[in-house]
Amino acid sequence: MIPGPFAYHRPRSLAEAVALCAAHPDDGRPLAGGHSLVPMMKLRLATPDHLIDLGAVAELKGVRREGNGWVIGATTTQAALITDPNLAQAIPILRETAQQIADPQVRSCGTIGGNVANGDPGNDMPALMMCLDATFRLAGANGTREVKARDFYQGAYVTALEPGELLTAITIPHPPAGHGYAYEKLKRKIGDYATAAAAVMLTLAGGRITTCAISLTNVAPTPLLAADAAAATIGQKPEEATFAEAAHRAEAITEPTPDGRGPADYRTKMAGVMVRRALARAVARASA
Amino acid sequence: MAKTAIALTVNGEAVEALVEPRTLLVHFLREQLNLTGTHIGCDTTHCGACTVDFDGRSVKSCTLFAVQAEGAEIRTIEGMAGADGTLHPLQEGFREMHGLQCGFCTPGMIMRAYRLLQENPRPTEDEIRTGMAGNLCRCTGYQNIVRAIQFAAAKIAGDSLQEAAE
């Protein structure tokens, strides 16, 4: 399958890339890893007239500490997230999640920016970004702005990105030392999207859960922040009854589509199971 | 459609070419450079038959445009054997351990295994299976592919081949 024709642009700087995207709000697409976009172009489901390749823009790559958080360039690959020693230490759930995306070849190309900006409900990073309370930096013709991951997703493939805007970086607050974390993903095989998945970040003190965030992947048109489920754990002992109540509340907010991964009620139940497992594993990893 | 000039290195040789931007890397390798060892399997980023080594990482060449390879160093299956025809230890391993039946997936398997062994010279069986997860084989059941990679790892490390075969 050969994609339709397009004009190819290879900007060398971020300013040039942003200007090109802004100049082609409706007929252009940025190309990062391309592992969502190129298959869509082969199927002619995406037919951009202008393709803006971000591969030569060094400013978009890499991970650095900034203030009280981390800045991850949009074209940082999933493979780079897995091998970055500082991130593995500070935010280990990023590695755990990236390792469950696709396969080694795809992870060597696929980028975190593409994964979060595409708005595909099957992608794993969007829910994780909600769980971590990440912020997306968006650059456009009128300058840059910041949008919280928790406010970014509006529907399947519909996000707060305006036509011509480019997601340039993701900022993540530095998680507290001793936090517990887990990303639990049920999938049929390597490379598959989640039947259901859950991300959990929490802290413990005095034998109780003191902070908790929970989010869900691929059980609704958008990733979901399970705020009620997380609230149910605060001040509670980290035990099965607490996990079950959180799972119950998480199930209540799902709206999965029946597909080859199973009927809707099954995927809802699996979301609950993933929440229970993720909570239990996060608790086991947290310092009390 | 206007063509774009690209310059890259393929199997150690400098290559300059004009390509239509929509030309996929695998089509460029096969049809413009006549390097037909890289196979097109599923054409949907799943099967890994088109895997090549690209700037020190394994990629599926059906899902990259040739223009993205500007400045890149690419190695394909044609670049694995020595100039005198001596097989690379991975090629030898696939032959010795019967790591192929129809052989269609083999170039992608070998190119992925090549990078895997660069990253992890002595992988466990589990690490091989995880590392090869992006390559599908419909014949072998994978058992002998794992053995072939173990054979190559041992040979590269200088272990006795008798040991590797066991």
Minimal-distance CA residue of chain A relative to B61: A105
Of B1, B27, B112, the CB nearest to A105: B112
* Distance from the B84 Cα atom to the nearest Cα atom in chain A, whole angstroms: 30
The domains of chain A, with CATH numbers, are: 7-52 (3.30.43.10), 61-173 (3.30.465.10), 180-285 (3.30.390.50)
A–B interface: beta-carbon pairs under 8 A: 78
pLDDT value of position A135: 98
Residue B162 has pLDDT above 70, yes or no: no
ipTM here: 0.95
* Distance from the B11 Cα atom to the nearest Cα atom in chain A, whole angstroms: 19
The helix (run of H) or strand (run of E) holding residue B102 is none
Of A1, A31, A55, the CB nearest to B43: A1
Closest CA to B127 of B119, B49, A108: B119
* Distance from the B22 Cα atom to the nearest Cα atom in chain A, whole angstroms: 6
pLDDT value of position B165: 55
Find the mean pLDDT for residues B54-82: 98
B59–A10 C-beta distance less than 8 A: no
- Which of A:179-238 have CB within 8 Å of B? 190-191
Q: Is the dihedral of CA A278, A270, A230, A238 positive or negative?
A: negative
> How far is A200 from A214, CA to CA, in rounded Å?
5
A38–B133 C-beta distance less than 8 A: no
pTM of the model: 0.95
Residue B163 has pLDDT above 60, yes or no: no
Residue A277 has pLDDT above 80, yes or no: yes
> How far is A115 from A215, CA to CA, in rounded Å?
16
pLDDT value of position B96: 97
Q: Would you place residue B164 in the very low, low, confident or very high pLDDT band (cuts 50, 70, 90)?
A: low
Of A2, A10, A105, the CB nearest to B59: A105
The domains of chain B, with CATH numbers, are: 4-79 (3.10.20.30), 89-161 (1.10.150.120)
Chain B hits for A51, CB-CB cut-off 8 Å, are 21
Cα first-last separation, chain B: 56
pLDDT value of position B99: 97
Q: What is the CA radius of gyration of chain B?
A: 16
Of B24, B46, B58, the CB nearest to A104: B58
Please tell me chain B's helix, strand, coil percentages from 3-state DSSP, rounded to the nearest 5: 40, 15, 45
Query: Where are the alpha helices (H) located in A54-164, listed in sequence order?
Result: 78-83, 85-90, 92-98, 104-109, 112-117, 125-131, 149-152
Preferred mutation among B53, B62, B63 to probe A, highest tally of A CBs within 10 A: B63
Minimal-distance CA residue of chain B relative to A79: B57
Q: Are A150 and A165 in contact (CB under 8 A)?
A: no
